[in-house]
Structures are given as structure tokens and as C-alpha cells.
């Protein structure tokens, strides 16, 4: 018989630390080295974390398949499962299934310019894409990374992104709605205020990816459309309730599609066409 | 496909012989309704049944079952305990329901629990005569070509029996002596006469062609609020629908130790918490949105995905909803007639 | 191995059927007593110790001064209070006339003009009318499986998890014919499930003992019952019987609308 897709694979927590006050970074790996190295996935895919006796929930992968061996998540403590997850320490075991979902259509991005727009926790899946493109830098055109958070202490991977500002093959733009530290040296304003730094965009040769809180999408997409980027080249990753990850439990259904299999990455055209996506 | 004849007087003897395969189930009476019940005694078999309360899906995806037991991170999938069963008396619309579930559970990411149960369940179809709630002719699900192991078509004195699978052939061979292999021309005539008579018995007609387009036109229609206000959110429609597969998962722990079971049980998108994500946001807060989703999925999504609606015309929703929200009233309202 | 949580089981005004339901779990009784350090459980043990608790289970409603004092004292020394059954959750059948101002007359009718002297009685109210309650396991009595599931969760510090969906869900799993379709006044669609549809499965209509389902559509249920010829007082009486205080509070505004 085929393998049982519902059985979680035990993985060991290698590192964990808080990214911000309520979001924790988890770096995990399968117990066997060969499995750890062969576990492949795409940026934009997710996995289901499973604690026996507690339950399961989907989480975006934050690491890049170009650095095999370790899987990374950025998890916000919002529910019963995550509360238990936060109690676990390094070297403890968690169950993981997947990867699931369509992920970003990386092959379509080849030779194209890329605008990655992030709000808040959206940095988790889009960090995967960003790191992947940087690890395969010669396959892509110009890369813009625009990240907006409410305050400096709510920005995930802040030091990592500040470091990336030093690269000359990446345009890394960070912004906070409000600086309450007095030490913020980057832009202040909502993420759309960063768009003024995008100069000389060739829209037909550009893909944009967006992930953030629901309120952000409309404003960001308006900006991207103003730049002339075609609707099907604007991609976003969406969130829904899921129990299975494999198109069976039905909780992630939106109209005609299952977010877990047909998504979580959708184009702006999908959103207009299928309704109810956001 | 092989077709055989079985005299009606031999039915019980034949069914009795199937016990070597597994437990036998068939329509039995429950109060004023019918259910698929275990036939330890074949006298309980009641072929007057038109529709059972729950469809045959209850054997393939039980309302509640354990997917695996666990002790820490050691899992034991509960696949071994799945019994072998023969279900007799499954009507064509129901078999079409199974074909939809097959697509759903066996294509992308095959579900091992469904797979195992499907393998261990022999489906013995039986022809039917519709009542005023059946509209399988409208959905094109009143005849079957596949999805069964044996299909019995009742005529005056005998059944024509179609052998639909290798397992079906094995089952026939258990008592080949009871079957006649020689189908005569007058049998064909009797069958054709029965077909046209039965076709004429479909009083309820629900034309579902072009439903995706009609659904789109009704996206902002006030009918959804009207149905939403009435909707009891009881979820009964989802439970009785042969093609509703949605489920919920929960872990049952033992009070001591780290062992327990992961359970799966039927859920319905008609329930408010169905689309709630961690943090509390509900993607379908209103009843109207939930009713709309249910019908969008039946009448539009499935057509996009599988080429046909996820309605097989069995009439269970018509028979079950206490407040008359069913495929008949909704399709009628959608068409504005 | 972390220390076992300290638990106590208490009974106020009610039939104690919920506590009995727990003691009747014969196959799991050892697990129940092994899973926690049960320091007080009058129905099961005569040598009880009253001290600080991690979890207190309360069966029965509050109907006297003495009980009010007790729940306040218990609250002060307990981390999580769990109400067991419709009496402690919603006031019980004894609260079905809640806010109708008929209590004094009824009390006089039963006890005469000379009131009892031990403690001062008042109209039955649920525990949360006096102290904050962490979790509710409703029912008359509670469902043993729902208790065991949640007991195992509580022992590990997990929150109680009870379905918000109506009785009809489990009723259909058990393949019962809908009683509403037989013109019987069944409260299944507006009542929380978790009981395994215990009444409809023996052809008795649901009387609502698990309390209002969070998402029950009372307006539609009410209209349906009216169509079937039931009168407003009949319906209200049925809904109040077990829904008690919770019913009155939850549907206060909506009920007035329906009334018109």
C-alpha cells in the first residue's frame, strides 16, 4: 500500500528562539540524515505540524530548499497547538507532514525581475523565496524586497534583512508604520510608501509576490497594478483553516478550489476570477 | 461486461453464500425510514426501500473513526480492523456518489482509509423506481456503468445481474449454479420496456445544465440571505449527502501516559466554526455565506474539477431538511422560477 | 515526571448524577483516579482534604448563602473551575422560571411560611453568577465520553474542547429520523451536541439539556415550531427547562423580537 499521508514524521527541534515577542523561530530536521538531505520543497509551500494528543495545523516554510537539511518555521502563538509548541525545547521531537501546496512557480520567475512585498508575519513564507532567489542569484533579474511591519520590534528576521541591505544585487527596503524606539534608520510609513523607490520597472518582465495581513493586499495590489504588472504576474499566498493538507477535510475550500492543494499561492487574476479568496 | 440472470426466488440463497466474503448489509427498516443495516438474518432485508437515511458513504468514510493510535511519536494506523462487507441494494444514484468519492479520495493524495474500506466493501447495486423526491434522471445518475461489483436490475421474475469488477466475478462464482448465462431476446425486451416505464416515473425534473454560469449570476443574489435566515445550521444535509466528504480531526488522549487516538469525524461547512483560523478570523461568518458555499461546491466547483455536479439526484436533502433548504428549492430559486 | 494536578469534585444543589456518571466509568475509573491527585470527592471517598487545587469540578447549582460562600472560597484556592452539568453551568431545571419573579411564591408553596433556618435559600443560579468559571461541561447528566476526553485535556493543562455544533450532527450519525419532520417539538437544532444524540436515538425529542448551541438559529427553530402548531408558551417553556439562565441571558434581545 502507498504510504499513509496522515502519519506525521518525527523531527527534532534543532534551534528555537523568539523572532519577536509572540513569534518563534523553529528550526527542525528529520531524524535520519539521508531523509533530512533529500526532503525537497518549494518556496511558498507549507507543512503540517502535529503534536500527538494536541492536534495539527499548517505552517509556512521559512527556509529555502537551496539549503537542504533543515526546515524552518516562524510560528505565532495564537492557539492551543502553538501554545504547546512554544513549551518545547531544543532536541525535543515534533511531528511534521508535508510539504504541501503549490508553492511559487519558480520556473516562471527565471530571468524576470521580482518584487517581493511583505507585511508583518508574511515574512515567513517570503523569506523562503527571497533566500532561494539569492542562493540562485544568476537565474533571476532584479530583486526588490519590500517589508513593512507595525513597529521595529514587530519585524521578523530584522537583523538578517538589515544585513541583506549591504548586498548590491538586492534592493532591500524596510519600513515601519511607527518608530517607537527612536533608533530606526529605515523608512517610516506603511509598506506602500516604499513603492516610490521602485524605479524603471519593466512590468511585463516582472513578477510580484505579496504576503501579509488581509488589510494590506488591496493597497499593495493597487500599487502593483499602477506599475502595470499583469494580474496573473501578481502572486499572493493565502491562509485558511486546514486539517489534512491533502484536499480531503474540506476546511480550506474556497469556491472551486482547495487552498491546500491548488494554493496557497494564487494570482491576482485568480482572486478576481474565483471570488472569496481574500 | 458480463450479464447474468438470477431468479428472484434464488436471491436469498445467493446472498447467504456471500457470507464467506464478509458481513452482509442491506436496506432494513428503521421506524418509518430505512437504513443500511447488518443482515444477520436475511428476512430483515426490505427491498421496498427507496432511500436510506445515511448513504452508503457511511461504510467507506464512517461518521467517526480512529485514523491511528499513538504512543508518543509511535503511530499505529487503524487499517487492519477494517471488516470485509457486502452491501446489497445500493441504488444507481448512490453508486454515482461513490464514483465521486472515488475521484475525491483516490486520485490526488490517495486516502489509505478510504482505499482500504473500498477494497473491503463489495458493492451490490440494485435498480430502483423513483418517488417524487428522486431526480436522478435529471442528473444522469439513474443508470450505472461502473463503480459496483455486481448490479442487480429487477424485472418481473428475475434480476439481470451486471458483473462490474473482478471481485464481482468472484462473488458470482460462489454460486454460479444459481445464475443463468443465457440472456434471451425476450429478456432484452422486458428490460427495455422496464427502462422506458421507469423513465416515465421521474416526476421531479431539475435541469442542472449550465449551473456554474447560473451560480455566478447569483453571486450577490438576495436568495442567499433568505436561505441563510431560515437555515437551522443543523448540518443534516451534509451528513445525508452521498458526496459530502468533509471531516474534522481531534485527538483523544488517555488520562495517564502519552497515548491516545487521532479521530476523524464528519463535519459540515454549514457550521460556523468550519472556516475559523487560529486567531479567530472566520472566513464565512454568516449563514448566508455558508449556504452559498455548500451549493457552490455542489453545483459549480465539482463541475469545474470533475466535469459533473456533486449532486446525484438521490433526494436525501429534500427528504431531510426541516426548513426546506435543499437542492430543489435552491436550484429553483437560483433560476428565478 | 511532573507532579499530578490536584483535583476536587464537589456537589451543590442537584441530583449528583454528573458525579455518578464519572464513577460509572468503570473501564476508565482507575485512569481517572491515577491521572490526578484527587483530594476531595465526597461521593467516592470519606476522607477528604480541602486544600489548594489545580482543578475543581462542580456539580449542582447555587441555591443558598452557604453554597455561595463555598464557591467563593473554592474559587480563591483553585486554578481552574469546571462546571459539570446543566445545574452548575446554567442553573438547572430549578432555574427554569429564572427572572419570572415567581420564586418566592413557589418557595412558600413547598416550604410553607416558616423558612428553613440553617442557611438562606434563593432562586437557583449557575456557579458563574457568583464566581468566574473557566470551563463548562454541560448536560443532564454530562456525557461520560465528553468528560473523559476533556478530563485528559485538563490534566495536561489543555483547555476544555466541546462542540459548538447542534445535536443534529450526532443524531444523523446515528441515523435517526428527524423528529421535527414528524411534527415533534425537538430542540436538537438549537442545542449543543456532545450527548451522542441520546434522546432522539430512543425516539424522544431533544429537551436542550446541553444548553443552547452557540450557532443555533433560534428564530428559525421558533418559526418552524410555530408553523407546526406549537404555541409561544409551549416553546418558551421547553427552551427554559434546561437552558435556564443561559437561555434567558443569551437570547434576551432576540427573544423579545421573536415574541412580537
- A80–C159 CB contact, under 8 Å: yes
Per-residue model confidence as pLDDT tens digits over B166-215: 999 999 999 999 999 999 999 999 999 999 999 999 999 998 888 888 98
Nearest partner of B311 among B108, B125, B94, judged by Cα = B94
Question: Does residue A26 register a pLDDT over 90?
Answer: yes
Question: Does residue A1 register a pLDDT over 50?
Answer: no
Distance from CA of C46 to the nearest CA of A (A): 34
Angle between helical axes of C218-227 and B223-230 (0-180°, round to 10): 80
Partners of residue C203 in chain B, C-beta under 8 Å? 31
Question: Does residue C257 register a pLDDT over 70?
Answer: no
Provide the b/e sequence for B269-289 (b: ≥16 CB within 10 Å).
bbbbebbbbbeeeebbeebbb
Partners of residue C156 in chain A, C-beta under 8 Å? 53
Question: Does residue C1 register a pLDDT over 60?
Answer: no
Distance CA B69, CA B75 (A): 6
Per-residue model confidence as pLDDT tens digits over C137-146: 999 999 999 9
Is there a contact between A119 and A219 (Cβ–Cβ < 8 Å)? no
Q: Is C183 on the interface with B (CB under 8 A)?
A: no
- Measured between CA atoms, the residue of chain B closest to residue C34 is B256
Which stretches of chain A sit within 8 Å of chain B by CB?
A: 1-2, 4-8, 10, 52-57, 76, 78-79, 81-82, 93, 95, 214, 239-241, 243-244, 246-251, 253-257, 261, 275-276
Per-residue model confidence as pLDDT tens digits over A228-252: 999 999 999 988 888 888 888 888 8
Which pLDDT band holds residue C259 (cuts at 50, 70, 90)? low
Per-residue model confidence as pLDDT tens digits over A80-139: 999 999 999 999 999 999 999 999 999 999 999 999 999 999 999 999 999 999 999 999
What are the structural domain ranges in chain C?
A: 6-155, 168-259
Per-residue model confidence as pLDDT tens digits over C187-238: 999 999 999 999 999 999 999 999 888 878 988 999 999 999 999 889 888 9
Cis peptide before C141 (omega within 30 of 0): yes
Distance from CA of C246 to the nearest CA of A (A): 26
Q: Smallest Cβ distance to B109: which of A78, A247, A255? A: A247
- C156–A80 CB contact, under 8 Å: no
Is there a contact between C186 and C207 (Cβ–Cβ < 8 Å)? no
The pLDDT, as a whole number, for residue A2 is: 52
Query: At the topology level of CATH, where does A9-100 sit?
Result: Elongation Factor Tu (Ef-tu); domain 3 (2.40.30)
CATH code for residues C6-155: 3.40.50.700
Question: Does residue B219 register a pLDDT over 60?
Answer: yes
Q: Are strands A55-60 and A143-149 parallel, antiparallel or unpaired?
A: unpaired
Q: For residue C84, give the H/E element and its range.
A: strand C78-84
The percentage of residues in chain C with a pLDDT greater than 70, rounded to a whole number, is 96
Distance from CA of C156 to the nearest CA of A (A): 10
Partners of residue A84 in chain C, C-beta under 8 Å? 158
Per-residue model confidence as pLDDT tens digits over C103-141: 889 988 988 887 777 888 999 999 999 999 999 999 999
Mapping DSSP onto H, E and C, the string for A8-22 reads CEEEEEEEEEEEECC
DSSP letter string over B90-134?
Answer: E-HHHHHHHHHHHHHHHSSS--HHHHHHHHHEEEEEE-----TT-
3-state secondary structure of A171: strand
Judged by average pLDDT, the poorest of A14-28, A155-169, B14-28, B288-302 is B288-302
- Measured between CA atoms, the residue of chain C closest to residue A81 is C158
The pLDDT, as a whole number, for residue A3 is: 81
What are the structural domain ranges in chain A?
A: 9-100, 106-237
Question: Does residue C253 register a pLDDT over 70?
Answer: no
Distance from CA of C77 to the nearest CA of B (A): 23
Per-residue model confidence as pLDDT tens digits over A34-64: 999 999 999 999 999 999 999 999 999 999 9
Residues in chain C: 260
Neighbours of chain A (3+ CB pairs under 8 A): B, C
Grid cell at residue B177: 449454479
Is there a contact between C10 and C74 (Cβ–Cβ < 8 Å)? yes
The pLDDT, as a whole number, for residue A144 is: 96
B192: CB partners within 8 A, 6+ apart: none
Q: Specify the CATH class of A106-237 in words.
A: alpha beta
| DSSP alpha helix (H) spans, C102-260 | 103-111, 144-155, 168-173, 218-227, 232-250, 252-259
* Interface predicted TM-score (ipTM): 0.93
The pLDDT, as a whole number, for residue C96 is: 87
Q: Smallest Cβ distance to C173: which of B239, B271, B287? A: B239
Amino acid at each position: 500500500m502507498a504510504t499513509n499521508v496522515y502519519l506525521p514524521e518525527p523531527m527534532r527541534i534543532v534551534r528555537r528562539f523568539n523572532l519577536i515577542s509572540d513569534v518563534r523561530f523553529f528550526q527542525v530536521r528529520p531524524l535520519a540524515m539521508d531523509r533530512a538531505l533529500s526532503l525537497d520543497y518549494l518556496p511558498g509551500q507549507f507543512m503540517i505540524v502535529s503534536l500527538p494528543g494536541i492536534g495539527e495545523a499548517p505552517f509556512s516554510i521559512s527556509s529555502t530548499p537551496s539549503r537542504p537539511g533543515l526546515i524552518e518555521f516562524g510560528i505565532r502563538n495564537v492557539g492551543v497547538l502553538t501554545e504547546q509548541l512554544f513549551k518545547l525545547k531544543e532536541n525535543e521531537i515534533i511531528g511534521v507532514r508535508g510539504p504541501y501546496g503549490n508553492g511559487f512557480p519558480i520556473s516562471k520567475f527565471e530571468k524576470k525581475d521580482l518584487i517581493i512585498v511583505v507585511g508583518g508575519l508574511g515574512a515567513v513564507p517570503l523569506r523562503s523565496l527571497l533566500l532561494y532567489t539569492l542562493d540562485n542569484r544568476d537565474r533571476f533579474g532584479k530583486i526588490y524586497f519590500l517589508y513593512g511591519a507595525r513597529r521595529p520590534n514587530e519585524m521578523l528576521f530584522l537583523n538578517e534583512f538589515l544585513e541583506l541591505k549591504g548586498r548590491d544585487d538586492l534592493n532591500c527596503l524596510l519600513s515601519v508604520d511607527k518608530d517607537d524606539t527612536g533608533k530606526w534608520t529605515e523608512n517610516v510609513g506603511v509598506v506602500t510608501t516604499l513603492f516610490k523607490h521602485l524605479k524603471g520597472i519593466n512590468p511585463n518582465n516582472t513578477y510580484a509576490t505579496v504576503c501579509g495581513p488581509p488589510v494590506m493586499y488591496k493597497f499593495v495590489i493597487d500599487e502593483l497594478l499602477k506599475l502595470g504588472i499583469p494580474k496573473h504576474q501578481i502572486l499572493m499566498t493565502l491562509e485558511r483553516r486546514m486539517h489534512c493538507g491533502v484536499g480531503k477535510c474540506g476546511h480550506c475550500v474556497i469556491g472551486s478550489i482547495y487552498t491546500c492543494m491548488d494554493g496557497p499561492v494564487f494570482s491576482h487574476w485568480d482572486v478576481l476570477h474565483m471570488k472569496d479568496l481574500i | 461486461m458480463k450479464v447474468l440472470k438470477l431468479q428472484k426466488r434464488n436471491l436469498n440463497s445467493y446472498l447467504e453464500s456471500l457470507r464467506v466474503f464478509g458481513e452482509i448489509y442491506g436496506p432494513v427498516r428503521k421506524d418509518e425510514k430505512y437504513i443500511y443495516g447488518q443482515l444477520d438474518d436475511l428476512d430483515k432485508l426490505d427491498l421496498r426501500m427507496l432511500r436510506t437515511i445515511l448513504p452508503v458513504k457511511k461504510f467507506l468514510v464512517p461518521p467517526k473513526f480512529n485514523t491511528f493510535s499513538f504512543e508518543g511519536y509511535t503511530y499505529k494506523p487503524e487499517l487492519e480492523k477494517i471488516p470485509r462487507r457486502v452491501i446489497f441494494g445500493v441504488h444507481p444514484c448512490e453508486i454515482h456518489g461513490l464514483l465521486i468519492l472515488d475521484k475525491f479520495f483516490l486520485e490526488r493524495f490517495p486516502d489509505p482509509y478510504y482505499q482500504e474500506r473500498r477494497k473491503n466493501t463489495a458493492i451490490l447495486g440494485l435498480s430502483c423506481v423513483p418517488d417524487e423526491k428522486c431526480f436522478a434522471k435529471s442528473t444522469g445518475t439513474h443508470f450505472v456503468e461502473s463503480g459496483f461489483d455486481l448490479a442487480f436490475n429487477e424485472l418481473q421474475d428475475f434480476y439481470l445481474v451486471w458483473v462490474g469488477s473482478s471481485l464481482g466475478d468472484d462473488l458470482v462464482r460462489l454460486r454460479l449454479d444459481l445464475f443463468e448465462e443465457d440472456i434471451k431476446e425476450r429478456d432484452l425486451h422486458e428490460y427495455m420496456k422496464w427502462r422506458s416505464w421507469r423513465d416515465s416515473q421521474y416526476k421531479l425534473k431539475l435541469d442542472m445544465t449550465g449551473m456554474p454560469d447560473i451560480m455566478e449570476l447569483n453571486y450577490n443574489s438576495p436568495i442567499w440571505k433568505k436561505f441563510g435566515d431560515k437555515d437551522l445550521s443543523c448540518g443534516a444535509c451534509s451528513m445525508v449527502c452521498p458526496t459530502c466528504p468533509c471531516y474534522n480531526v481531534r485527538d483523544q488522549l488517555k488520562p495517564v501516559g502519552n497515548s491516545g487516538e487521532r479521530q476523524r469525524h464528519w463535519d459540515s461547512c454549514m457550521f460556523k466554526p468550519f472556516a475559523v483560523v487560529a486567531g479567530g478570523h472566520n472566513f464565512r461568518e454568516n449563514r448566508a455565506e455558508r449556504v452559498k458555499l455548500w451549493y457552490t461546491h455542489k453545483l459549480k466547483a465539482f463541475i469545474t474539477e470533475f466535469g459533473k455536479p456533486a449532486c446525484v439526484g438521490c433526494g436525501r436533502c429534500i427528504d431531510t431538511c426541516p426548513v426546506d433548504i435543499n437542492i430543489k428549492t435552491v436550484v429553483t430559486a437560483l433560476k428565478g422560477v | 515526571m511532573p507532579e499530578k494536578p490536584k483535583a476536587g469534585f464537589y456537589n451543590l444543589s442537584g441530583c449528583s448524577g454528573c458525579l455518578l456518571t464519572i464513577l460509572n466509568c468503570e473501564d476508565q475509573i482507575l485512569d481517572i483516579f491515577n491521572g490526578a491527585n484527587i483530594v476531595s470527592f465526597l461521593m467516592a471517598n470519606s476522607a477528604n482534604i480541602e486544600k489548594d487545587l489545580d482543578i475543581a469540578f462542580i456539580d449542582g447549582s447555587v441555591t443558598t448563602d452557604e453554597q455561595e460562600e463555598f464557591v467563593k472560597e473554592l474559587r480563591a484556592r483553585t486554578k481552574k473551575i469546571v462546571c459539570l452539568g446543566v445545574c452548575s453551568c446554567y442553573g438547572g431545571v430549578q432555574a427554569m422560571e429564572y427572572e419570572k419573579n415567581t420564586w418566592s411564591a413557589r418557595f412558600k408553596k413547598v416550604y410553607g411560611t416558616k423558612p428553613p433556618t440553617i442557611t438562606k435559600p434563593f432562586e437557583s443560579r449557575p456557579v458563574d453568577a457568583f464566581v468566574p468559571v473557566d470551563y463548562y461541561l454541560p448536560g443532564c447528566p454530562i456525557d461520560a465520553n465528553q468528560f473523559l476526553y476533556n478530563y485528559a485535556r485538563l490534566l495536561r493543562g489543555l483547555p476544555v474542547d466541546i462542540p459548538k455544533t447542534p445535536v443534529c450532527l450526532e443524531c444523523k450519525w446515528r441515523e435517526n429520523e428527524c423528529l421535527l419532520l414528524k411534527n415533534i417539538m425537538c430542540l436538537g437544532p438549537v442545542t449543543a451536541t456532545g450527548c451522542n444524540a441520546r434522546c432522539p436515538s430512543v425516539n424522544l425529542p431533544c429537551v436542550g439539556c446541553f444548553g443552547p448551541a452557540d450557532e443555533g438559529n433560534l428564530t428559525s427553530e421558533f418559526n418552524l415550531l410555530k408553523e407546526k402548531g406549537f404555541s409561544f408558551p409551549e416553546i418558551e417553556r421547553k427552551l427554559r427547562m434546561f437552558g435556564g439562565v443561559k437561555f434567558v441571558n443569551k437570547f434576551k434581545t432576540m427573544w423579545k423580537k421573536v415574541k412580537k
